[in-house]
Amino acid sequence: MAHVHSAFIRSVSDRVRERLDDEVADIFERCFENTLGTTLTAMPDGTLFMLTGDIPAMWLRDSTAQLAPYLHFAAEDQAISDMIAAVSRRQVAFVLIDAYANAFNAAPDGKGHQDDLTDGSPWVWERKYEVDSLCYPIQLAHDLWTVTGRTDHLGPDFAEAARRIIALWRVEQDHEASSPYRFQRFDCPPSDTLVRDGRGPETAPTGMTWSAFRPSDDACAYGYNVPGNMFAAVELGHIADIAETVLGDPELARTARDLRDDIERGVAEHGLVVDSDHGELYAYEVDGRGGVLLLDDANVPSLLSLPLIGWCGTDDDRYLATRRFILSDANPTFVRGVLPDGGDVRGLGSPHTPAGHIWPIGLCIEGLTTSDEDERRRILRLLLDTDAGTGLMHESFLATDPETFTREWFSWANAMFCEFVLDLAGLRVLVRDAVTEVRPS
């Protein structure tokens, strides 16, 4: 696929080179080319299957994030627009196969985690239910429409997928009484399976929608992932916009907005806590029974990423209080270290990777959500200095030794580096506006 888009890659890389410098542009070009050259496979139905990287499966979440830097150029390059539309249609097809699954095979060949105790399908690589997995296909479809105006990917299949997503999220508003979803994996770390015979931690209804696993694919400690619900609220608004403007389906728009309102009330009533040091801020997870988890995770949606998913602006008071907590030692996933050359490093990690590891994705999110140019330059320098000489980003690196890292081939991290560089170069055209309607308080 890279050779098809070689002129496009050179054109964008040249623009980055003109606005920044050769060192940045060289790594940008390597990351920008990597996704197009290594992850895409044409399907018999004309759609495109997109590998996450070193795992031979397609994640709904990752595939959307992997395409983020290319969306900015979809209006000027028809081949790029067609590529994104083909991935979008493949995502929709997978949602219609199993809306509870997070990752899929390129064929119904039964590869992946087939020994998990859950309702299976030979198409499914992994069936960890994550609320954000269903947000991302909506985001990609809406973003492509926003940038290019094309609607050929927003047909009956998209409408049916949207209805199924809404129906599933409604069911999972009362997981204890209504949900058919169960998941158990055996002989694995506790974070890879659900407690209570696969039902997950006990919850009470809040208006939010339940999630079994986080965007990291780790099990939720409590049932309601707050940033995932915020993302769902934003994307329900996007379903409503598409339903009214493209599909001519006012009933779909109404059901989407009704559920969005429920979720937003749930976030306002259960997702906010008062911390003595940081003020009123958002929790990462709650259970509706008094359980609250204060931390953030580098995987998106995260609390740090709220402006990027369209929940709020970077100047929102609650976001700023939450951000101060996230980027402090009070957050259990915030990591500090000293590099072998004596340089201090800091950034967001994840329980998904070993202790003391910083995630390039988290660094990019931090850089994309601040206007402090000194801080943005610090983050860029850190990313350049911690690639272990590969010219690519990794899942995570050890804060005291960047030569120790996880996942040499991780397309999402490469894409997020490209997003950050495009932002520094003033080349990001798609910037999601926060919802402007008054939220419950």
Helix boundaries (H) for 327-410: 360-368, 373-385
CB 241 within 8 A of CB 249: no
| pLDDT above 70: percentage of residues in the chain | 97
Reported as a pLDDT band with limits 50, 70 and 90, residue 441 is very low
How many Cβ atoms from other residues are within 10 Å of residue 374's Cβ?
8
The DSSP element (H or E) to which 273 belongs, if any, is strand 272-275
Number of C-alpha atoms within 13 angstroms, CB side, residue 428? 20
Topology annotation, domain 39-332: Glycosyltransferase (1.50.10)
Q: Is the pLDDT of residue 2 over 80?
A: no
Q: What is the CA radius of gyration of the chain?
A: 20
Residue-level pLDDT at 84: 98
pTM of the model: 0.96
Residue-level pLDDT at 431: 82
Q: Write 253-259 long-range contacts (CB < 8 A, 24+).
A: 255/163, 255/166, 256/162, 256/166, 259/166, 259/169, 259/170, 259/209
Residue-level pLDDT at 430: 86
Reported as a pLDDT band with limits 50, 70 and 90, residue 432 is confident
Number of C-alpha atoms within 13 angstroms, CB side, residue 229? 34
Instruction: Dump pLDDT digits (tens) for 348-379.
Output: 999 999 999 999 999 999 999 999 999 999 99
Q: Is the pLDDT of residue 1 over 60?
A: no
Q: Is the pLDDT of residue 147 over 90?
A: yes
Domain boundary assignment for the chain:
39-332, 333-430
The chain-wide mean pLDDT, for the chain, equals: 96
**395 dihedral zone (left: phi>0; alpha: psi -120 to 50; beta):** alpha
| pLDDT above 90: percentage of residues in the chain | 95
Mapping DSSP to helix (H, G, I), strand (E, B) and coil, where does residue 1 land? coil
Query: The dihedral of CA 50, 54, 60, 64: what is its sign?
Result: negative
Query: Following CA atoms 203, 206, 210, 214 in sequence, which dihedral angle do they give, to the nearest 10 degrees?
Result: -90
Q: Is the pLDDT of residue 437 over 50?
A: no
Q: Is the pLDDT of residue 298 over 80?
A: yes
Q: Is the pLDDT of residue 157 over 70?
A: yes
Instruction: Dump pLDDT digits (tens) for 247-280.
Output: 999 999 999 999 999 999 999 999 999 999 999 9
Instruction: Dump pLDDT digits (tens) for 24-75.
Output: 999 999 999 999 999 999 999 999 999 999 999 999 999 999 999 999 999 9
